[in-house]
């Protein structure tokens, strides 16, 4: 069984600082989406925040990443260089962890 580590990060939205707690796989995929769209992660999170109707921001971000992954919009980008050796996962592996039926 894989251990899921939650990572909390601070993001500035409309001039105020908020924190978002996500599993590392969601952060990695969110960063890949932002990179593919040439925007900052904070800009994507701000858009998610504006569009969400219910629930907390972290849940809304997870749903956004899941929707993008299922829609096949997740780019196939190389693994980040700062990943620890032996712990590297390809984007394909990240996608399959998030939505096994999306592949």
Token pair belonging to 54: 């219910």
Give the bridge partners for 11, in sequence order. Answer: 18
Antiparallel, parallel or unpaired: β 16-23 and 6-13: antiparallel
Task: Say which residue the tokens 């251990």 belong to.
Answer: 3
Overall pTM > 0.75: no
Span 90-97, mean pLDDT? 40
- Structure confidence at residue 27 (pLDDT): 96
- In tens, the pLDDT along 20-66 reads 999 999 999 999 999 999 999 999 999 999 999 888 999 999 999 99
Give the bridge partners for 17, in sequence order. Answer: 12
């Amino acid at each position: 069984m894989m251990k899921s580590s939650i990572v909390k990060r601070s993001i500035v939205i409309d001039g105020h600082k908020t924190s978002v707690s996500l599993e590392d796989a969601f952060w990695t995929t969110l960063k890949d989406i932002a990179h593919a769209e040439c925007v900052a992660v904070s800009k994507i999170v701000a858009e998610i925040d504006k569009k969400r109707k219910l629930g907390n921001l972290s849940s809304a971000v997870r749903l956004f990443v899941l929707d993008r992954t299922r829609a096949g919009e997740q780019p196939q980008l190389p693994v980040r260089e700062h990943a620890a050796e032996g712990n590297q996962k390809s984007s394909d592996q990240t996608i399959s962890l998030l939505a096994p039926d999306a592949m």
